[in-house]
Structure 1
Amino acid sequence: MATTRTEADACTLLDTDHKAVKKMFKTYEELAGSKARGAAQKKLELAHQICQELTVHATVEEEIFYPALREALKETDILAEAEVEHAGAKDLIAQIEAMEEADEMFDAKVKVLGEYIDHHVKEERNEIFPKARAAKSLDLVRMRDQLMARKEALMGAEVA
């Protein structure tokens, strides 16, 4: 069954994550310029929240979304590129999570991570999502439900 543009599908869910994280990066950028007391601690907490969101998002894409696309699409080079981008982001996430102080290098790493994610999001929106929506063999509405369930399970595991 083809997905209508008005019905929320897997791509819509993933893009909602993208928008939420973009807002978080924007808030971080505002905090990075702040000299207010407590700004450093807020940056540290927000950066860790960004890392958690991105880790969960990447996991559901890698476990559910990308494998389904690999089966449905003829050309999968764009998926290989997306997976390499995930690896680069995960490396930066690990560096950020290992840091205990929101210093100049911390800010730089969060900024570069934001740039990586921005680039990755543009490719998903402009190339991957349209191909996914055009693939007749994908039930993106059912996949949305799978992604949501997995995301909830991962978020629950992160909190516990």
Structure 2
Amino acid sequence: MTHKRSFAALIVFLIPLLTPVHAQTVSSAHADILVKSDSSWNGKPYTAYPQGRPQLTLLKMTIPAHTALPWHVHPMPNAGYVLSGQLTIEDRATGKKQTFQAGQAFTESVNDVHRGVSGDQPTVLLITYSGTPGLPTSEPLKGEKPEY
């Protein structure tokens, strides 16, 4: 009888060790704010979202090395993140430029003519747009090709 009890106790002890390991439950995750702004990279404040039902769009854009995108505008607030490479944003009216490296986030201007220029490596971006159904995320300047 003692052997049976010892064997039963051993099984009770070993069962937790033999069961599959489950993910540890945590009370919360860690989050880093990459960008939070009420104005675009060039300092121009955002004034409003487009009217209508919201539609969010997330793009992954790849720009070849040494490429200047066509001049264009965005009719809605948007923000980007440089996954790899670098991006220089140029404002056509002021000539102001700002360069963002891999790991940096940025906010783009609304209805200001600008373009992005890649560096020595291809540039990969994640860009999120806060628009409405039917509203294009990018509009080329007259005579320019579409951005994508």
TM-score tier after normalising by the smaller chain length: under 0.3
TM-score after normalising by structure 1 = 0.26
Higher relative contact order (CA 8 A, sep 6+): 1
**Structure 1 or 2: larger strand share?**
2
**Structure 1 or 2: larger helix share?**
1
Higher-Rg member (1/2):
2
